[in-house]
Structure 1
Amino acid sequence: MLTERQLLILHAIVDDYVRSAEPVGSRTISKRDDISFSSATIRNDMSDLEELGFLEKPHSSAGRIPSQKGYRYYVDHLLMPESLTIEEEADIQTVFNERIQEVEDVIQHSARVLSNMTSYISIVLGPEVFDTRLRSIQIIPLTDVSAILILVTDTGHVENQTIAIPPNMMGEDMQMVVNILNDRLVGVPLFELKNKLATEVANVMRQHVSHYKPFMNMLNRSFHIQKQDKVFYSGKMNLLNQPEFRDIEKVRVLFEMLEQDNLMNEVLRSHKVGLQVRIGQENEHKAFDNISMITASYEVAGRHMGTIGIIGPTRMEYRRVMSVVDMISKDLTKILTRHR
C-alpha cells in the first residue's frame, strides 16, 4: 500500500514525464507548488517506488520515469479525466454537424477528428457488417440489360453494384422481384441472406416471376458478404513526432502490425465494451510493448457496432485522451443512430 506522500510523488512524476519526456529528478519535484517535501525525502520515496516497480531509472540518468506498472496505477487510482474546454467541445460538435451521407464517411471523419485533437494515431473498427440486418433493397434500371442493386443495412451501411438484367425479364417482373425481396429479406441478418434467397425467396419467385432463375443466380453472387470488418486509421505519421519513436526499427515493427487488418481487427474485437486503457505489454503483442491503446465502443440503439481509439506511446496524456475518446465515441453513437 502506497503512502499519501508516495502517491503525490508518483502522480507528480507521471505528470512531469508526460509533459517533458525527460527523466524526473527529486529537485524538479520539490519545486512544484503542490509538493512541500524536501529533495532528500522525495529522493528516498522515489527509491522506494522504484523498488516496488512503479518507477524505473534509465541508464546514465539521476531521474526516474514511470514504469508500465506505474502508469497502470496512475490510470486506475490517481487520474481524474480532464474536462474538455467549451471551445473543444464546440469544435467536435461542429465537425459532427456536417452533412455526411455514408456510414463509412462518418467513421473516417471520426478518425480524423480524433487524431487531430490528440496528435496520436487514431484507429476505428467499422460497424460489424457481418452481424447487421438488411433494411431495404432497391433495383434501379440503368439500361435494358443492366441495373444498380442497392442494399442498405440497419446501421446505415450502403452497398451498391451493377447487375445484369435477364433479357426476357419485363418491367413488371422486376418490380415484383423488388417487392418479394423486401417482403422476405428485410430484417434478416446479412450472413443469412444467401440461405433465405435459395430457399424461401426462390419458392416465392417460382410462383410469381417468369424467367426468375438467371436473376436468382445473379442475386446469389451479389449477396456475398465479407465477414472482415474494416479498420480505419488517421495520423500514422504523428507517432514520428514522439521522442520514443526516433528508433526507426521500433516504428517499422509497429507500422507492419498496423498493416495487418486481420490482426488489428482481432485486437480491437478483444477490447471490452466501454472505455478501456491497455498499457504496453497488456496489449499482448510485442509490437505494442511501448504503446498504449485507449479505446471506447460505439453503439446504435444500444447495440455494439464497433470500436474507436487512440494508439500512442505509454508516455501519453491519459487524462486528456481518455476524455476525447469518450466524447467522440458518444458523438459517433449519436450520429450513427440518426443514420438509421
Structure 2
Amino acid sequence: MLSNRQLLVLQVIIDEFIHTAQPIGSRAISKKDEVSFSSATIRNEMADLEEMGFIEKTHSSSGRVPSEKGYRFYVDHLLSPFRLSNTDVDIISDAFAKGMIEFEQVVQKSAKVLSDLTNYTSIILGPEVFDTKLKQLQIISLSNQTAVAILVTNTGHVEHRSFSVPANIQSSDLEKLVNILNDRLVGVPIVQLHEKLSDELTHLLHKYTSDFDAAYHYLKGALFDQQSVQLYVGGKTNILMQPEFKDVEKIRSLYSIIEQEEEMAELLRSNKDGMNIMIGHENKIDAMQDCSLITATYSLGDQQMGTIALLGPTRMEYSRVISLVNMLSKQLTNTFHSWY
C-alpha cells in the first residue's frame, strides 16, 4: 500500500514525464506547488517507489521515469475524470454534423478527428460486413468473361467484387439471378445468406437458369466465400512524432503490424466490450510492447459491435485520451442508432 506522499510523488513523476518525455528528478518535484516536503524526503520516497517497481532509473540521467507497473497503477487508481475543452467537444460534434450518409464516411472522419486531436494513431474496426443485412445486390457484366458484384448493406457499406464469369453462364442468367436474390434476400443478415441460398433458393435457380451447378457455385464464390475486414486508420505517421520511436526497426515493425489488417482486426475483436487499456507488455503483439492501446466499443443496432482504438507510446496522455475515445465511441453509437 502506497502512502499519501508516495502517491503524490508517483503522480507528479508520471504527469511530468507524459508532458516532457524527460526523466524527473527530486528537484523538479520539489518545485511543484502541491509538494510541501523536502528534496531529501522526495529522494527517499523515490527510492522506495523504485524498489517497488513503480518507477525506474534511466542510463542517461539521475532522474526517474515511470515503469509499466507505474503506468498501470496510475491508470487504475490516480486518474481523475477529465473535462474536455470546448474546442475538443466542438471538433467532434462538428465532425458528425456534416450530413454524412454512409458508414465509411462517418468512420473515416472519426479516425481522422481522433488522430488529429491526439497526435497518436487511431484505428477503427467496423462491424463485419457479414454481421449486417443486405440492402441491394447488383451484378454488372463488364465483358463476356468478367462481371462485378456490388453489395450494399443496411450500414451503408458498399463492396465491389470483380470475377471471371464461367463461359456457360449467360448474361440473361445473371440478370435472372440478381432479380431472384434481390426479391428473396433483401433484409436478410449477410451471415445467413449462404444458408438461405442453399435451403430456399435452389429450386428457383434450377427453374430459371440454364446451368444450375455453374450458377450456384458462381454465386457462392462471388458473394459468400469472401469476408472483408473494415479497418480504418488515421494518423499512421503520427507515431514518428513521438521521441520514443526514433528507432527505424521499431517503426518498421509497428507499421508492419498496422498494415496487417487481419491480425490487427483480430486483436481489436479480442478485447472485451467497453473501455480497455493495454500498456506495454500487456499487448500480445511484440511490436506493440513499447505502446499503449486504448480501445472502446460502439454499437450499430442492437447487437452489432465495432471497436475504436488509439495507439501511442506508454507515455500517453491517458486522462484526456480516455475521455476523447469515450466521447467518440458514444457519438458513433448515437449516430448509427439514429440511422437504423
Q: How far is the alpha carbon of 1:285 from its aligned partner? A: 2.0
Q: Residue 84 of structure 1 corresponds to which residue in structure 2?
A: 84
Q: Distance in 1 between matches of 2:20 and 2:172?
A: 74
Q: Residue 136 of structure 1 corresponds to which residue in structure 2?
A: 135
1:1-340 aligned within 5 A = 1-130=1-130, 132-139=131-138, 150-160=150-160, 166-168=170-172, 174=176, 180-206=180-206, 209=208, 211=210, 213=212, 216=216, 218-340=218-340
TM-score, normalised to structure 2, is: 0.88
8 Å contact 2:300–2:306 — kept in the other structure?
A: no
Q: Distance in 2 between matches of 1:266 and 1:142?
A: 35
Q: Which moved more, 1:209-218 or 1:276-285?
A: 209-218
Q: Distance in 2 between matches of 1:337 and 1:202?
A: 35
SS in 2 for 1:244: coil
TM-score, normalised to structure 1, is: 0.88
May I ask how many residue pairs the two structures share in their alignment?
334
Distance 1:231 1:3, change over 3 A: same
Q: How far is the alpha carbon of 1:206 from its aligned partner? A: 4.3
8 Å contact 2:29–2:35 — kept in the other structure?
A: yes
Q: Distance in 2 between matches of 1:249 and 1:160?
A: 36
Distance 1:67 1:168, change over 3 A: closer
8 Å contact 1:111–1:123 — kept in the other structure?
A: yes
Q: How far is the alpha carbon of 1:138 from its aligned partner? A: 4.4
Q: How far is the alpha carbon of 1:59 from its aligned partner? A: 1.3
AA aligned opposite 1:43: R
8 Å contact 1:122–1:310 — kept in the other structure?
A: yes
CA RMSD of aligned residues (A): 2.8
Q: Which moved more, 1:187-196 or 1:273-282?
A: 187-196
SS in 1 for 2:36: coil
Q: Where does the alignment leave 5 or more consecutive residues of structure 2 unmatched?
A: none
Q: Which moved more, 1:155-164 or 1:11-20?
A: 155-164
8 Å contact 2:277–2:295 — kept in the other structure?
A: yes
Q: How far is the alpha carbon of 1:287 from its aligned partner? A: 1.0
Q: How far is the alpha carbon of 1:200 from its aligned partner? A: 0.9
Distance 1:37 1:134, change over 3 A: same
Q: How far is the alpha carbon of 1:60 from its aligned partner? A: 3.5
SS in 1 for 2:232: strand
Query: Which runs of structure 1 show a deviation greater than 6 angstroms over 4 or more consecutive aligned residues?
Result: 140-148, 162-165
Deviations, residues 17-49 of structure 1 (Å, cap 9, x unaligned): 111111111111111111111111111001100
8 Å contact 1:121–1:234 — kept in the other structure?
A: yes
Q: How far is the alpha carbon of 1:167 from its aligned partner? A: 4.9
AA aligned opposite 1:295: T
Distance 1:291 1:116, change over 3 A: same
8 Å contact 1:137–1:178 — kept in the other structure?
A: no
Distance 1:226 1:109, change over 3 A: farther
Distance 1:182 1:167, change over 3 A: closer
Q: Distance in 2 between matches of 1:219 and 1:26?
A: 70
AA aligned opposite 2:136: I
Q: Distance in 1 between matches of 2:311 and 2:123?
A: 7
Q: Percent identity?
A: 47
Q: Distance in 2 between matches of 1:234 and 1:144?
A: 37
Q: Distance in 2 between matches of 1:248 and 1:141?
A: 46
AA aligned opposite 1:188: V
Q: Where does the alignment leave 5 or more consecutive residues of structure 1 unmatched?
A: none
Deviations, residues 245-302 of structure 1 (Å, cap 9, x unaligned): 1222221222222222222122111111111110000002221121000111111123
Distance 1:185 1:254, change over 3 A: same
8 Å contact 2:115–2:122 — kept in the other structure?
A: yes
Q: Which moved more, 1:295-304 or 1:14-23?
A: 295-304
8 Å contact 2:125–2:306 — kept in the other structure?
A: yes
Distance 1:5 1:222, change over 3 A: same
